[in-house]
Each structure stands twice: as structure tokens, then as C-alpha cells.
Amino acid sequence: MKAVKFAVIVGASALVLAACGSKPTTSSSSSTSGAAGGSATTSSSKAFTACMVLDTGGVDDRSFNQSSYAGLTTAATANPAIKPSYVSSNSQNDYAPNLTAEVNKGCSTIIAVGGLMGDAVKAAAAANPNQHFAEVDASSSGANVYGMEYNTAQGGFLGGYLAAGMTKTGKVGTWGGLNIPPVTIYMDGFYEGVQYYNRTKGKNVQVLGWNESNQKGGTFSQSFTDQNKGKTISAAQVQQGADIVFPVAGGAGLGAGAVAQSSGGKVMVIWVDTDGCESAAQYCPYFLTSVTKGITDSVDKYVTAAASGAFPTGNYIGTLQNGGTGLAPFHTFDSKVPATLKSELDQVKADIISGKITITSPSQPK
Amino acid sequence: MTEVAAPTSALPEPGGPDPAAPVRRRRALGDNTIVVTLLAFVAAMVVGAILIAFSDPATRSASAYFFSAPMDTLRAAASAIGRGYAALFEGAVFNPTTAARGTVAGIFGPISETLVSATPLILGGLSVGLAFRAGLFNIGGQGQIVAGATCAGYVGFAWHLPVVIHLVVAIVAGMVGGGLWGALAGWLKARTGAHEVITTIMLNYVAVNMLGFLLSVKGFQRPPYGQAISNVVDANARLPHLLGSSLRVNAGLFLALLAAYAIHWLLTRSVLGFEFRAVGANQNAARTAGMSVERSYTRVMLIAGVLSGLAGVTQILGTNSAITGDIDAGIGFDAITVALLGRANAGGTVLAGLLFGALRAGGVQMQSSTGTPIDVVSVVQALIVLFIAAPALVRFLFRLHGSGAGAGQGLAKGWNG
């Protein structure tokens, strides 16, 4: 009794704070609730329910969960018949039950996020051969599973080449969130890009924080969220002479932005995964460019194609050629990057696509 | 449940023959641990309901014009809460929609998921609870689970032994791994006086980072070395499924129940268990009586480690088939709440593990069918334990009287040990 009274008082007083508006005249709250929940689709036969099972970290992780779900919502904005929804996982124990729950829900397609979910997706796909699946960051594990992988070493290569061409101190730095392949593949590409620049130009630009031939070494923050650690590591690399830093650590990389900000324009940052001027706009003046991973775009394309009835099959590998990885615009640095360097970057890009330049990173998707 | 209803009916009794009777009855209720536990559950579910309502977009948009049409908000909230808790039930106990298909998976799926989630929680809860009884606070469940799962998993995928033998060897390897990890903390306390809270937490970091390293070592990591995931455990070393391959419930459940019985026997019937309890109750008295407090510390942490190691075993040989960095899945810490809710005794821990397993399994369904964040379930779990640790709060909310102290106070002597 008392608890109920107490709860009502708390609830009501909280509502008071935001309750001064008036009822919208046209809306009927019952019809919007179903769409918002993402589950009431029985009424419309044309609805395409696209359900996403996220990896740990939540939908707002500024990393692959967020990029993946953004692809789903982009597709849904363009095609209102697509009804997006997601469930998140708290640990790997949740993968299988989440997939089962989504299968039972009757989703038109289920998009799993993260390579670690591969085993669970494979089992769920085998148990439900008529259910369409897709998986981000993994290769296809069955006829009804569409795999999406990204060779971000190619984008990282361009970033490394650019950094080597832009550095004034002859030293560039990179560091990662964790020593795992989806992270180190960027660092490999960056490292190789710098080496390629040194070879073709006869220069000796050094890379701090990573050496591709020593995959166990390297500098890592052990966190994708701790900005202070990111700041400490970036400041240490600047201290050692680096004037361009490439953090591959999601939100922790924002610490590099803070270091660049306080350096008074001496230090530049290359952002990762998304265009930093959009995802971390506060540090846009310090972002030389960003090495992108086209998760949003490829999920968007998959869902859009699937909703039209043509489920893509097999594997998608994001490359420079198909826009699945690459460099974002230079934004504020557009006028400061020499035109010759820009044309060299175009040439390097063309050479990677044609196979003239081979990238050796062991983390590349096969 | 009749006991729960009692306080409301006992409130107004002005003209009764004995005016002191209701107070006495309410005090008795307030001291009854089962009543307090149930009321804590009810209170936590009420708070959870408020969270569900607030996380519901329809309720939030209706609340923007609360004063012009308050019923809209209340109706939307009631509908969201109803749908949320219905889904929780469907995910944990019985789902009429899937059951209508008539398949085994459709009918027993929810129960299977509840039991799968409950299994490691029971084992972890027993581990923490046993240490409580000897006055130790075992925060090291995570590290012990990781150590157990790593050893069991390694034997599972690197060795190739015949049926049954492989499973037994892998289980024993997991017990040894977890046991050594736990015993290390106990030994450090016995020999050096290092506080077990500190050492177990530090050993968590050691275990987790060691696993992180192993997941990048060839022979442990799965080819083509693209992900931080281990090789797959052999079919011979997997815990057999109990209800066919379509349901995940496995023989790990028997391991948990067996362990619970063994701990019950240990604590109530054996000399060793008596020593543990004596050390937990008053270590000076135990020492005076001729018991070796130090040896008890090492032994109790060894057994606690074995139990957590078994939780790791069910994780890797039962629920998952390959090791990843979060193989402990937060169980090491949830186990503390399970042990508190179960009052550190074996039967209570089994029930608490089942409850939390049901909440976990139901949370998945709730998230999938209503979009309610699964975090609501974690909040409800935490609140249950919070209310139990502060029974005075529960008594205040439900207007009971009582005299006893909180469950946590009796259990957490390790802080002073």
C-alpha cells in the first residue's frame, strides 16, 4: 500500500516536470505505441521487420553497434515499410537466447552485430533454414546468412600515407583500444602506408605505438571508453615527437582530440570508423581526416535490398573499391593538404584497388 | 503469498479484543526472512514497473500533455507495464504463442532458458555464500570462473579423449583451475594477512588479462585468427543436453544441484563445515578451541574456487562452446547478489539462482517483444538485494515492525576479519 502510494507520488512528481503540454489533436497514442516498440507488424502485410541483435556495449557505443543500427534506421527512413528494432546483449551468454527470441518474433531478417556472435548465428541459421540472417564483421556461415566484413587495412593504408606526407616532425603515432584484429587491422594498414611512403619517397617517417611485424606489441588503452587514458597515451606520443595521432579506440580516442586542442594547432588527429567531423564534431578543427568503415552503408544496402524481396547472399567485403572503407573528407584541412599529396593518394588508392600494392596485414578478411 | 497479504488486512483493527496483537503479529512478520524477501521482491518489481513505464515511448509522449489528458499517460503506462511483465513471464516460464506450435522447444523453451541462466548463478552463489559462512568476502568469482572455464575449455578442445572420459577430465580440469585460483587468495590471507577482498579483485584482473593474452596465442585462438575467440570444444567434452538438441538446458544443472547438496552436507554435517562456521562466527573463539583459522581460510577459498570453477565449466562445456573474453558473463558479480538473496545457505541459493535465472531469461524476451531495455532486469535484481540488505526500509514501506538486522550485516564479516 505504502509502496504503491510512494511510487505514485514519485512517478507523478516526475511527470509534472514535463507534463505542461497539451494533447496533440490528431495523434492517437495507441497506434504509435506499436511502431515505437517495433513489434506490432501483424496489421500490415507489407511491413518488413528488420531485427538487430547487438553485441555488448549498447546501441550508443559510438562504434559498431551504433553504426550498424544507424544503417537500419537509414534504410527505414527511406522505406517506411521497414520496421527496425534491436535487442542488446550484456554478454556472450545473451547471443543465442536473443537470436532465438528474434526468430520466435517472426522477423523478416535478423542482423547480428559482431564477429564473436558467429557461432550462435551459425547454429540459429542451421536450426531455422527459412529465416534470413545477416552478420556484421563476420563471413557467411550458411546459405541463409549474409556476411559483411571490411578490409579497413586499405583505408588505414591511405591514412598512413597521408600522415607520412603531412608530418613535420617525421614521427606519427597510433594506438588502439585492445589488441584484437578488428582494431589492429587499422594499425597494420596505417603502418604499411607509412612504410610505403618511406620506400617510394626515400624518407624515414617513424611510426610510434605499432609495428606490424610485432603483433603482440604496440600501445593500447585497454578501453574503448576511457578518454583520460586516451589523453595520456596521445600526450606521451606527442612528447616523443609525433605530430599526427591515429587512435583506433572508439570513444577513448577523443582523448587525442583533447591533446590536439591543447597543442595549439601543432598536433593533428586522424579519426577512425566514422567521419569524425560528424560523430565528434567538437574536435573537427583538429581532424586531418578519418579512416572510415562502411558499416552503416552496407547494412543500409542489405536491408533495402532485402525489403525489396531480393535477399543478398554470400559475403560482402568492404574495400576501397566499393566504398566499404576509405578516407573521409579533409574538412578544415582541405586547403592545407598539398594538391600533389592528394593526387598521390588517388594513385595509391588506384594501385591498392588494382592489386599493384599488396597489403600484408594478417588481420584482413579472406 | 497469504503472508504477504496479511499486513494490509492487519492495518485497521481498532475495536479488537487485544490491541497489542496486531503489532506483535507485524513484528513477527517483520522478522520473518521469507516475508521480508517476498516483500523486497514486490517492492523491486514496483520500481521496475515505473522504469518500464518511463522507458516506453508511448507513455513518455503521452506524459508531455499529462495535465490535459492524464488518463492517456496512465493507460499507456499500464499497458507498457502489463506487456513488459507478461513478456518477462513468457520468456521465463511459459509462452502460449510458441507453445501453440506443439514442439518441445515451443513448450519447454522458456523453462529451459531459465534453468540455463540459473545454473552458473547457483554455482557462483554457492561459492560466494560458502566464503561468507567462513567470514570471507569472495569478490573473486569472476577470476575463478575465468580460470575454471579456461582450463576446462583448453582440455575440451586441445585434448581428444573418448566419450565420458573427456567430459569428466574437462570438468575436473575446470574445478582444479578455479580451485587453485581461489585457494591462492585464501593462502595469501592465511600466510600474509592480505585482505581477501583486495587479493580476489586483483586476481580477477590477472585472470581476465591472462585470458585476453591466451586468446591471441596460436593453439588457443581459433584459426584464421581473425577474432579473439578460442577453438571449439569437442563434442565429447560437452555437457549433454537434457531435453534434446533444440533446448539448451544441459547436465550442468545436475552439477549445480549436486554441488548445492554437497555444500548443504558440508555445512550442516561435517567437521570441516563446522570449522568454517566457527571461524566465520568468531575466529578468536575458533582459535581458542584449537582450530587452525589459517588452514580454514585456505580450505574454504579452495572449495569456493572449485564451485566458481564449476560455474565456468557449465559456461564453456554447457552454454557456450568456445571461450571469449567475457566468458564469465558477469556471473562472478551477480553471484554475490544471489548469495545475499539466498542468505548464504545452499537451498536459499538454489532458489535465488532460479529467480535470477528466470529474470534473466525473461528479460531477453521482454527486450525482444516490447523493446524494454534489458537493464530494467538488472535494476530489479539489484533492488531486491538492496531491500533485503536494508530490511528496515522494507518494514517501513509495508508498515511492519521488527527487530533483526539486515542480512548483509550478518554475512559481511569478512570486512573486519
pLDDT digits (tens, 9 = 90+) for B317-344: 999 889 988 899 889 999 999 999 898 8
In whole angstroms, give the CA distance from residue B315 to residue B152.
Answer: 10
Give the residue extent of every domain in chain B: 1-67+373-417, 115-371
Q: Write down the H helix ranges in B93-195.
A: 96-99, 104-133, 141-158, 165-192
- Provide the mean pLDDT of chain B: 87
Task: For residue B233, give the nearest of B222, B245, B244 by alpha carbon.
Answer: B222
Determine the average pLDDT of the residues in A40-56: 73
Q: Write down the H helix ranges in A131-253.
A: 152-166, 181-201, 227-239
Quickly name the fold that domain B115-371 has.
Answer: ABC transporter involved in vitamin B12 uptake, BtuC (1.10.3470)
Question: Which chain B residues touch A150 with a CB distance below 8 Å?
Answer: none
Question: Which chain B residues touch A90 with a CB distance below 8 Å?
Answer: 329-330, 374, 378
Q: Residue A31 pLDDT more than 50?
A: no
Assigned C-alpha cell, B407: 542480512
Q: What's the Cα-to-Cα distance from B226 to each of A121, A221, B271, B282, rounded to whole Å?
A: 17, 20, 52, 53
Confidence of residue A87 (pLDDT cuts 50, 70, 90): very high
Contact between residue B121 and residue B342 where contact means Cβ atoms under 8 Å apart: no
Task: For residue A115, give the nearest of A74, A154, A158, A68 by alpha carbon.
Answer: A68
Question: Given B66, B95, B374, which is nearest A90 (Cβ)?
Answer: B374
In whole angstroms, give the CA distance from residue B336 to residue B129.
Answer: 8
pLDDT tens track for B177-235: 999 999 999 999 999 999 999 999 999 999 999 998 898 888 888 877 667 889 999 99
**What is the predicted pLDDT for the residue at B7?**
43
Confidence of residue B241 (pLDDT cuts 50, 70, 90): very high
DSSP assignment letter at B240 = P
In whole angstroms, give the CA distance from residue B359 to residue B385.
Answer: 14
Residue B311: beta bridge partners? none
CA quadruple B36, B39, B40, B42: dihedral, nearest 10: 170
Q: Residue A20 pLDDT more than 60?
A: no
Asked which of A1-10, A332-341, B63-72, B235-244 is least confident by mean pLDDT, the reply is: A1-10
- Provide the mean pLDDT of chain A: 86
Q: Residue B401 pLDDT more than 70?
A: yes
**What is the predicted pLDDT for the residue at A23?**
66
Question: Which chain A residues touch B61 with a CB distance below 8 Å?
Answer: 27, 29, 32
Question: Which chain A residues touch B319 with a CB distance below 8 Å?
Answer: 93, 96
pLDDT tens track for A287-306: 999 999 999 999 999 999 99
Q: Is there a contact between A93 and B117 if contact means CB atoms under 8 Å apart?
A: yes
* Domains of chain A, earliest start first: 46-150+294-323 (3.40.50.2300), 152-293+335-354 (3.40.50.2300)
Q: Is there a contact between A39 and B97 if contact means CB atoms under 8 Å apart?
A: no
Pick the more confident residue, B67 or A4.
B67
Question: Given B228, B315, B321, which is nearest A180 (Cβ)?
Answer: B228
Q: Which residue of A has its CA nearest to B327?
A: A92
So what's the ipTM on this one?
0.81
**What is the predicted pLDDT for the residue at A38?**
40
Confidence of residue B26 (pLDDT cuts 50, 70, 90): low
Determine the average pLDDT of the residues in B261-279: 95
| Percent of chain A topping pLDDT 90 | 65
Confidence of residue B415 (pLDDT cuts 50, 70, 90): very low
Question: Given B58, B216, B330, which is nearest A90 (Cβ)?
Answer: B330
Q: Is there a contact between A96 and B248 if contact means CB atoms under 8 Å apart?
A: yes
According to DSSP, the β-strands at A109-113 and A315-318 are: unpaired
Determine the average pLDDT of the residues in B384-398: 83
Question: Which chain A residues touch B76 with a CB distance below 8 Å?
Answer: 29, 33
A114: closest CA of chain B, how far (Å)? 10
**What is the predicted pLDDT for the residue at B226?**
66
Question: Given B228, B232, B397, which is nearest A2 (Cβ)?
Answer: B397
pLDDT tens track for A137-196: 888 988 999 999 999 999 999 999 999 999 999 999 999 988 888 899 999 999 999 999
pLDDT tens track for B79-99: 999 999 999 999 999 999 888
pLDDT tens track for B129-175: 999 999 999 999 999 999 999 999 999 999 999 999 999 999 999 99
Q: Is there a contact between B97 and A362 if contact means CB atoms under 8 Å apart?
A: no
To probe the interface with B, which of A8, A15, A137 has the most B CB atoms within 10 Å?
A15
**What is the predicted pLDDT for the residue at B393?**
83
What is the number of CB-based contacts under 8 A between chain A and chain B?
162
Confidence of residue A27 (pLDDT cuts 50, 70, 90): very low
Confidence of residue B104 (pLDDT cuts 50, 70, 90): confident
